[in-house]
Structure formats: structure tokens, C-alpha cells
Homo-oligomer: A and B are copies of this chain.
């Protein structure tokens, strides 16, 4: 018996941002599509206007474990020199419910699976030939999204927009070093959207940042910042005009994603879950004119998928400390 306690350092050592991790997260969307996931609504605990705890979880038929992830977002932390987000994941034996493993991942696996979901979206929806990728925001996900994207598309340049010049220049230095390509700041979101074939929005915005007027043929946008009621990064008109709007799960996105705002804007259109594409049930054939949007809120199935992948590697390498 006992529970294997695994630290962030151990998880980082055995599960970097790689193609195996990508495949695990991609699989999660297929599971949802195939109806083999039991995934309740997110449990949201409000602490104050800037701080909350969100718990997600999913049972996937056929997997040895199910996972529940407790994730904190305390957005005044950076003022104290602390990261905004952290998380802990518990893995239970799917046959007995016993707690086999606790990942003290401090948000690492959450960052990974969130970034990789953006890559899964781009893999199935974005143009094949991408010169420039634009990212709005300079935080942790602005990094993970673009590093993940590099697993599925060979782009030549990254452009970034952020409100804080110091953070923008840190981002450019850091990411140019990691990606070995130019990473350049732009002065406006308009410039950024117009310059890029893929745009990823990674902010906490509650008012649209991206105007429909800037959207151009051949653009794919992944909007991953909005995950709670009231958040919004894209002008709703973008969703009306797009050739294809995809989301991770309709149930969550209607509450907290970009598509929560469609009804108010009188937009009534098909929104398709990403799993339809990862499972092969659907394909989208882009033309030069296509505009595609993917609305991501993050699912418990992704957490279970990345946790299962991590556990397999932890066991293979004999990491973790057995306690209890």
C-alpha cells in the first residue's frame, strides 16, 4: 500500500514537453468524443476577486487510474514574487479508489497539458505552412503554448504583445533562446494579428482584445485564456464570421469559454468539439481563405491523460517517494 509522492522536479525530469506528452493530451480529446469519459463540471471555490481554486477530474474507461487535479490561481502572487498558479494531482486506482500517487506538480502538469492542448488544436486546424506565430500575453502559458506549437508546426518567427515592456523583453529573450528563431515584440494587437497565421491568446481579459476587423484569410486563433464566466479575449463577431469554431468541451466552453458570449451577440452557429478531429470522425480541409478558431478551457480528461502518462514514466524510472 502507501502513496507515491512525486515532486515537480521529478515530473519535469521524466516528462518534458515532448511528442509522447502531446499524444497523451491528444488522446484525451478522443476519449471525450468516444464517450468513455465521466467528467463532472469544474468545482470552483471563490476566495476573492483575484483568487480561486478550481478542481477538475475525470474517469476514463479502460485506464488504470483516474485523476483529480486541484488548481489554484492567485493572481496577486506575482506582486509577492510567487507564481500565480499551482496544482496538486491525486491519482486513484480505478478499480479500488485507493490513492496510489500524489503529484506535487506546482502547476507543471497543468501548464504542460494546457500548452499541449493548443498544439493539438493547431495540429488539426491550423494552416500547414506557418511563417509567423503571434502570442498575446507574456506569462507561463504564452511560453508553453508556443513551445508546444513547435511540436506540430515549423514556424520561422514569433511576435508577441504584452502590456508590460519588461515582461515582453524577458519573453523575447527567453523564447528566442529556447526556439532558436526570432521572437519580436509588436506595439499593438492589431499589428500582431495581421502579421500572423496562428494567433494564441493567453490572457485573463474580461473585454475583447482581438477585433474582428483584424482577422484575415488563412488565420487560425487558439483562445485559451477564457475559462470562467465573464472572461473574453475575442470579439464575438469573430466567432460569427469564422469558417470553423471548435472547442474542447461544449459543456465547459458555454459557461466559461469564448462561446459563452455568442448568445448575447445573437450568434447561433455550429461549434464542434476538438475530439471530433482528433478521433478522425471529422476533418477540416483548409483553403487559403479559411479562418478557424479554437476555444479552450481545459478539461479534467486532459488532467487524467497527462497524469497517466507521467505515472507510467515515473514508474519506469523508479522515481517518487512511497509514504504511508
- Give chain A's interface residues, CB within 8 Å of chain B: 3, 5, 7-9, 38-47, 51, 53, 55, 57-59, 66, 68, 70, 72-74, 77, 80, 82, 85-88, 90, 92, 94-99, 102, 104, 106, 321, 323-324
Contacts and interface: CB of A to CB of B under 8 A. Distances in A.
Contact of A45 (B58, B104, B321): B58
Contacts of A5: 5, 102, 323
Q: Closest 7 CB pairs between A and B? A: A72-B97, A74-B97, A43-B43, A7-B324, A104-B324, A38-B46, A68-B70
B97 A51 contact: yes
Contacts of A98: 72, 82, 86
Main secondary structure of the interface of A (DSSP, over half): strand
Given A59-B47, A72-B98, A96-B80, A104 B323 contact: yes
Given A39-B45, A40-B44, A324 B55 contact: no
Nearest to A80: B96
A5 to B, nearest CB: 5
29 contacts: A3-B88, A5-B102, A38-B45, A38-B47, A40-B44, A40-B45, A42-B43, A45-B57, A45-B58, A47-B59, A53-B68, A55-B57, A70-B70, A70-B92, A70-B99, A72-B92, A72-B99, A73-B97, A74-B95, A74-B97, A82-B96, A85-B97, A86-B98, A86-B99, A88-B90, A88-B102, A99-B104, A106-B324, A321-B323
A92 B47 CA distance: 11
Given A68-B53, A323-B321, A88 B99 contact: yes
- Which of A45, A72, A88 has most chain B Cβ within 10 Å? A45
